[in-house]
């Protein structure tokens, strides 16, 4: 109760603390920023008050309830006394009653409004921050060499709070509390005046500041509109929308459409987009100079309405230095909740590759064969050496080998590694002058709707997920698919024989393709295990299923998402897999655990695609909130937030060296990210429709992108990354300046014939395989 009882000013200060507390999961907040935000520079209390405040909120709510009751029964006197005792502002009790006071008051009562708003919004924030605190995943490195999963599963079992928060997040949290922040009001008629006043001001400032300050328009617009709607000023809200929605950046179009359909207070409950907007602060990056300009203006004009919103709903990340240009800002903005805070991308990421296990290669005789075949004995040697040396040297940026416990290699895995190395020696070195050949796998007669495709790493199998809930697996090689014999038959075979692996297969079942039935909704994501023994599929029915490719039966159904699961992928080392879905959470699983080991929560909208980093220590997720997040598998922390896409992200790809990430979205653009520095390093424009597939060539020289616009495009990845790596300044400030060189980087555009490209795959020899359903 302390914070509230301390009076209005205290409440104000406390608010700032709460903001920080809720941001703790991203790392340390800049205390400076907090102070800058608070109108009265006071001492920032310790974060410890968080707990007490959380407790206080409960009491205060009880108090409020009592007050309401008294008022209802017309016991105004006791209300007055009690209120004064508790130090509550007058209008905290009447969400609607302030209309008269707001209308009647000029600048003087504005202050009252402001504080009243603070107090009531505090309630919401306290609850919000407490949930956020619980959401913050378990921290601290787990150094034990023991099998990670045991520990992890233990963790998730002993942390019911985490799950609890999630179920709360999935259902509507305390909607009323969240929305109550809007109960503050001013004169609805003045909203337009305020907004256009600010607009005039921003249009009149110097060019260099204008672009930065213009960022304020969108979040301000949305919050003002929502306030109007919340307070039942429907016609004013509509007028406000009509008048100013045209000014907003075009990439907010989709959100604006959602917003425009919302004109009633009742609609606000249960609208997810709105809740997202409300629960998360919109993040802006503004230079100190620009910010001071804005602050001065608002204080001079006593434009409290706007100042309130800026303080409560916006997070302004202030930096020292040159204001950013319009293009710089545009490159980074577009996500649902503004840009990422700079702090969000400061954590160290071990993006290097793990050391390859040393396998003694029975190369001699094989080599001779290869040499005889190719007749290039010279070329062989150095290549093999380079492979060998590469695997021996430890990359300084690589995580320690056992940071994440990985399964030991089986004999068959080692054989496969040998096969891989042999193939790698025959790999074609790609480049701008040496583009890959493309093979297209057309799915014919796929009238039921092809929704997902995957190839095995060795390109021997192809699987398709379909909208009719089935998964179909085809053999791409002449080798047919066979099931293992039944248990009774297996007893009969000679287990000592050399070809026992051959004998266990039932020749009668050999066929070119197999159908896997089990899901009860469209299959949206599929992934082969690296050892080709398993297949994962995720479906609209809320489950992820694990299929055996030996028996072609379902082994496990992983339940947990409870909502459509949009994507799933095996770790490159097998055993682990990640899934993400409509519940906005990505989950890390291990195949032998039916419950998730990690839950990566933080996205504000559906997780649309998931990818493992090549070293299996990180997971990247793309979302319909138009951000990409990188999560640390070890501790579940979010270590990177990338903003810049203007539409839901549907494709992700790590470069083979683990340093870069490419992402494709419905906006038809491919963005390139430097994981180590947490920076956008490239933008590839060319596609005219959603990009559903991205893949780097085996050596990382070429990036292939496949899209709904029926094309495959090849990009010069080497050039794209080389050009920007030298720029240290941007690395320091985080302000990228992208040159528009898409046309130079585009190496080729390849049309299919009315076939959207939904999957791409480079074979081990760098032949590009593309897949899609032919739709006549």
Partner 1 sequence: PHTEMADREERRFAEISRESVKFMAESTGVELGDDVAGLLAEDVCYRLREATQSSSQFMRHAKRRKLTVEDFNRALHWSNVEAICGYGAQDTLPFRSAKEGELFFIEDRDINLVELALATNIPKGCAETMVRVNVSYMDGKGNLEPQGTVPSAVQSLSDDLLKYYQQITRAILGEDPHLMKVALLDLQSNAKIAALLPYFVYVISGVKSVSHDLEQLNRLLHMVKSLVQNPYLYLGSYIRSLVSSVMYCILEPLAASINPLNDHWTLRDYAALLLSHIFWTHGDLVSGLYHQILVSLQKVLSDPVRPLCSHYGAVVGLHALGWKAVERVLFPHLPAYWANLQAVLDDYSVSNAQVKADGHKVYGAILVAVERLLKMKALSLSQQSDGGSSGQTGFAGGSICYRVSSPGLSPPPEPLSEATLGIASHLQAGGAGCPLEEWTPVPLPAMYCELYSFFGDSLAVRFSTGPGDARKEPPGPTSNPDTTRKMPQLTANLNISPRHDGSPRTDPTPPSLAATGSGRSLTRSCSSSSSVQRSRSSSRSGQRSAGLSRDVFPKARFTSSQTGPPAFSFLIGGRQMGLRCQGRRPFQTNFAPTPPLSAVPPRAYAHKLPVIGRVGKPVRRWACSHYSLHLPL
Touching partner 1, residues 642-671 (CB under 8 A) = 648, 650, 666
195 binds partner 1 (CB under 8 A): no
774 binds partner 1 (CB under 8 A): yes
For the bound state, the minimum distance from the C-beta of residue 443 to partner 1, rounded and expressed in Å, comes to: 6
> How many residues would you count in the chain?
776
For the bound state, the minimum distance from the C-beta of residue 747 to partner 1, rounded and expressed in Å, comes to: 7
Residues between 383 and 422 with contacts to partner 1, criterion CB under 8 A: none
String of DSSP letters for 184-227: ----HHHHHHHHHHHHHHHHHS-HHHHHHHHTTHHHHHHHHHHH
For partner 1, give the closer residue by CB, 210 or 243.
243
For partner 1, give the closer residue by CB, 641 or 747.
747
For the bound state, the minimum distance from the C-beta of residue 463 to partner 1, rounded and expressed in Å, comes to: 10
Residues between 526 and 545 with contacts to partner 1, criterion CB under 8 A: 540
476 binds partner 1 (CB under 8 A): yes
Residues between 500 and 529 with contacts to partner 1, criterion CB under 8 A: 513, 521-522, 524
For partner 1, give the closer residue by CB, 443 or 576.
443
For the bound state, the minimum distance from the C-beta of residue 743 to partner 1, rounded and expressed in Å, comes to: 17
For the bound state, the minimum distance from the C-beta of residue 748 to partner 1, rounded and expressed in Å, comes to: 5
Residues between 746 and 765 with contacts to partner 1, criterion CB under 8 A: 747-748, 750-756, 758
Stretch that binds partner 1, among 304-312, 349-357, 428-436, 626-634 (CB under 8 A): 428-436
Helices (H), 231-361: 234-244, 253-260, 265-268, 272-279, 288-301, 304-313, 326-332
445 binds partner 1 (CB under 8 A): yes
For partner 1, give the closer residue by CB, 37 or 544.
544
Cα–Cα distance measured from residue 603 to residue 567, given in angstroms and rounded to the nearest whole number? 15
Cα–Cα distance measured from residue 470 to residue 25, given in angstroms and rounded to the nearest whole number? 40
Quick check: 334 and 643 in contact, CB under 8 A? yes
The binder of partner 1 chosen from 462, 578, 590, 649 (CB under 8 A): 462
Cα–Cα distance measured from residue 575 to residue 585, given in angstroms and rounded to the nearest whole number? 20
464 binds partner 1 (CB under 8 A): yes
Name 292's Cβ contacts closer than 8 Å, sequence gap at least 6.
Answer: none
Residues between 3 and 62 with contacts to partner 1, criterion CB under 8 A: none
Stretch that binds partner 1, among 296-304, 345-353, 357-365, 462-470 (CB under 8 A): 462-470
For the bound state, the minimum distance from the C-beta of residue 729 to partner 1, rounded and expressed in Å, comes to: 36
Binding mask 599-638 for partner 1 (x = CB under 8 A): -------x-x---------------x--------------
The binder of partner 1 chosen from 439, 493, 504, 505 (CB under 8 A): 439
Quick check: 11 and 115 in contact, CB under 8 A? yes
For the bound state, the minimum distance from the C-beta of residue 261 to partner 1, rounded and expressed in Å, comes to: 4
For the bound state, the minimum distance from the C-beta of residue 450 to partner 1, rounded and expressed in Å, comes to: 7
695 binds partner 1 (CB under 8 A): no
Name 462's Cβ contacts closer than 8 Å, sequence gap at least 6.
Answer: 441, 453, 454, 455, 456, 473, 474, 476, 771
566 binds partner 1 (CB under 8 A): yes
Residues between 575 and 594 with contacts to partner 1, criterion CB under 8 A: 582
For partner 1, give the closer residue by CB, 253 or 368.
253
Cα–Cα distance measured from residue 691 to residue 649, given in angstroms and rounded to the nearest whole number? 8
Name 501's Cβ contacts closer than 8 Å, sequence gap at least 6.
Answer: none
Stretch that binds partner 1, among 87-95, 169-177, 287-295, 449-457 (CB under 8 A): 449-457
690 binds partner 1 (CB under 8 A): yes
SS3 388: helix
467 binds partner 1 (CB under 8 A): yes
For partner 1, give the closer residue by CB, 212 or 457.
457
Quick check: 307 and 114 in contact, CB under 8 A? yes
String of DSSP letters for 535-591: EEEEETTSEEEEEETTT-SEEEEEE---S-EEEEEE-TTSSEEEEEETTSEEEEEET
Strand-strand pairing, 638-643 and 649-654:
unpaired
What Cα–Cα distance (Å) separates residue 678 from each residue in 285, 346, 451, 639, 759? Answer: 16, 7, 32, 9, 27
For the bound state, the minimum distance from the C-beta of residue 257 to partner 1, rounded and expressed in Å, comes to: 6
Strand order across the 565-570 sheet: 565-570, 576-581, 585-590, 598-601
Strand order across the 618-623 sheet: 607-612, 618-623, 627-632, 638-643
Report the alpha-carbon angle 628-629-631, nearest 5.
Answer: 155
For partner 1, give the closer residue by CB, 268 or 421.
268
The binder of partner 1 chosen from 399, 436, 622, 636 (CB under 8 A): 436
For partner 1, give the closer residue by CB, 610 or 616.
610
SS3 671: strand
Nearest to 303 by CA among 179, 183, 181, 186: 186
For the bound state, the minimum distance from the C-beta of residue 265 to partner 1, rounded and expressed in Å, comes to: 12
Stretch that binds partner 1, among 120-128, 193-201, 414-422, 766-774 (CB under 8 A): 766-774
Q: Under rule CB under 8 A, how many of the chain's residues touch partner 1?
A: 71
For the bound state, the minimum distance from the C-beta of residue 701 to partner 1, rounded and expressed in Å, comes to: 13
Quick check: 538 and 558 in contact, CB under 8 A? no
Nearest 10 degrees: Cα torsion 255, 257, 259, 264: -160
Binding mask 248-277 for partner 1 (x = CB under 8 A): -----x--xxx-xxxxx-xx---x------
Cα–Cα distance measured from residue 319 to residue 106, given in angstroms and rounded to the nearest whole number? 34
444 binds partner 1 (CB under 8 A): yes
Nearest to 588 by CA among 575, 580, 603, 578: 578
For partner 1, give the closer residue by CB, 448 or 739.
448
Stretch that binds partner 1, among 90-98, 150-158, 671-679, 767-775 (CB under 8 A): 767-775
Cα–Cα distance measured from residue 319 to residue 158, given in angstroms and rounded to the nearest whole number? 41
For partner 1, give the closer residue by CB, 316 or 768.
768
Which phi and psi (to 5°) does residue 10 adopt? -60, -45
692 binds partner 1 (CB under 8 A): yes
For the bound state, the minimum distance from the C-beta of residue 436 to partner 1, rounded and expressed in Å, comes to: 6
Stretch that binds partner 1, among 58-66, 127-135, 210-218, 441-449 (CB under 8 A): 441-449
For partner 1, give the closer residue by CB, 51 or 267.
267
705 binds partner 1 (CB under 8 A): no
Nearest to 643 by CA among 619, 614, 623: 623
Sign of CA dihedral 650, 654, 655, 656: negative
The binder of partner 1 chosen from 190, 347, 440, 550 (CB under 8 A): 440
For the bound state, the minimum distance from the C-beta of residue 336 to partner 1, rounded and expressed in Å, comes to: 14
For partner 1, give the closer residue by CB, 88 or 179.
179
Residues between 206 and 245 with contacts to partner 1, criterion CB under 8 A: 245
String of DSSP letters for 142-156: ----S-HHHHHHHHH
Stretch that binds partner 1, among 51-59, 194-202, 558-566, 672-680 (CB under 8 A): 558-566
SS3 81: helix
The binder of partner 1 chosen from 225, 443, 576, 600 (CB under 8 A): 443
Cα–Cα distance measured from residue 69 to residue 63, given in angstroms and rounded to the nearest whole number? 10
Cα–Cα distance measured from residue 415 to residue 649, given in angstroms and rounded to the nearest whole number? 36
């Amino acid at each position: 109760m302390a914070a509230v009882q301390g009076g209005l000013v205290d409440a104000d200060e406390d608010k700032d603390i709460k903001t920080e507390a809720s941001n703790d999961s991203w790392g340390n907040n800049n205390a400076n920023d907090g102070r800058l935000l608070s109108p009265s520079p006071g001492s920032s209390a310790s974060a410890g008050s968080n707990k007490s405040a959380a407790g206080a909120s409960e009491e205060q709510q009880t108090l409020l309830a009592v007050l309401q009751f008294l008022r209802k029964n017309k016991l105004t006197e006791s209300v007055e006394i009690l209120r004064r005792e508790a130090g509550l502002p007058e209008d905290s009790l009447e969400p609607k009653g302030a209309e008269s006071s707001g209308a009647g008051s000029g600048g003087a009562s504005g202050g009252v409004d402001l504080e009243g708003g603070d107090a009531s919004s505090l309630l919401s924030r306290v609850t919000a921050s407490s949930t956020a605190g619980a959401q913050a995943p378990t921290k601290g490195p787990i150094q034990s060499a023991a099998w990670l999963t045991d520990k992890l599963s233990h963790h998730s079992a002993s942390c019911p709070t985490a799950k609890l928060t999630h179920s709360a997040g999935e259902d509507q949290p305390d909607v009323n509390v969240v929305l109550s922040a809007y109960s503050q009001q001013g004169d609805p008629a003045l909203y337009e005046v305020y907004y256009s006043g600010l607009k005039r001001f921003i249009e009149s400032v110097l060019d260099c500041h204008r672009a930065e300050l213009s960022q304020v328009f969108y979040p301000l617009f949305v919050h003002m509109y929502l306030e109007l709607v919340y307070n039942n000023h429907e016609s004013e809200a509509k007028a406000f929308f009509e008048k100013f929605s045209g000014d907003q950046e075009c990439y907010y179009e989709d959100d604006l459409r959602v917003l425009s359909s919302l004109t009633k207070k009742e609609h606000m409950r249960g609208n997810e987009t709105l809740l997202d907007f409300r629960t998360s602060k919109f993040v802006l990056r503004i230079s100190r100079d620009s910010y001071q300009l804005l602050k001065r203006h608002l204080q001079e004009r006593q434009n409290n309405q706007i100042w309130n919103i800026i303080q409560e709903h916006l997070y302004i990340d202030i930096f020292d230095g040159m204001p950013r240009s319009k293009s710089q800002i545009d490159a980074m903005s577009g996500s649902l909740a503004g840009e990422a805070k700079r702090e969000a991308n400061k954590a160290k990421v071990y993006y290097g590759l793990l050391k390859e296990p040393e396998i003694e290669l029975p190369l001699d005789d094989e080599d001779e064969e290869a040499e005889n075949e190719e007749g290039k004995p010279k070329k062989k040697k150095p290549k093999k050496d380079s492979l060998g040396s590469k695997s021996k040297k430890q990359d300084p940026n690589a995580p320690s080998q056992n940071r994440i416990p990985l399964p030991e290699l089986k004999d068959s895995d080692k054989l496969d590694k040998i096969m891989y190395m042999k193939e790698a020696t025959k790999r074609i070195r790609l480049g701008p002058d040496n583009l890959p050949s493309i093979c297209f796998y057309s799915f014919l007669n796929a009238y039921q709707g092809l929704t997902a495709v995957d190839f095995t790493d060795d390109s021997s199998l192809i699987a398709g997920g379909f909208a009719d809930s089935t998964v179909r697996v085809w053999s791409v090689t002449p080798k047919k698919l066979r099931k293992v014999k039944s248990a009774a038959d297996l007893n009969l075979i000679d287990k000592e024989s050399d070809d026992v692996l051959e004998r266990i297969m039932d020749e009668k079942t050999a066929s070119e393709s197999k159908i896997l039935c089990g899901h009860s909704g469209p299959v949206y994501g599929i992934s082969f295990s690296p050892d080709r023994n398993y297949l994962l599929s995720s479906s609209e029915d809320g489950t992820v299923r694990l299929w055996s490719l030996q028996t072609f039966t379902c082994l496990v159904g992983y339940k947990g998402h409870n909502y459509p699961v949009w994507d799933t992928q095996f770790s490159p080392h097998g055993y682990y897999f990640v899934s993400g879905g409509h519940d906005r959470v990505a989950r890390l699983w291990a195949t032998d655990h039916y419950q998730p080991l990690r839950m990566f929560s933080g996205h504000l909208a559906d997780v649309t695609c998931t990818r493992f980093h090549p070293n299996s220590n990180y997971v990247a997720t793309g979302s319909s909130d138009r951000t990409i997040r990188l999560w640390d598998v070890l501790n579940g922390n979010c270590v990177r937030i990338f903003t810049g896409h203007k539409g839901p992200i549907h494709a992700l790809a790590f470069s083979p060296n683990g340093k870069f990430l490419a992402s494709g979205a419905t906006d038809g653009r491919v963005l390139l990210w430097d994981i180590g520095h947490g920076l956008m390093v490239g933008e590839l424009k060319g596609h005219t429709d959603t990009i559903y597939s991205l893949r780097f060539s085996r050596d990382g020289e070429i990036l292939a992108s496949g899209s709904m616009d029926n094309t495959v495009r090849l990009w010069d990845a080497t050039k794209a990354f080389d050009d920007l790596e030298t720029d240290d300044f941007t690395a320091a400030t985080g302000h990228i300046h992208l040159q528009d060189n898409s046309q130079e980087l585009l190496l080729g555009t390849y049309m299919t014939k009315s076939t959207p490209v939904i999957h791409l795959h480079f074979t081990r020899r760098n032949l590009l395989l593309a897949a899609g359903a032919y739709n006549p």
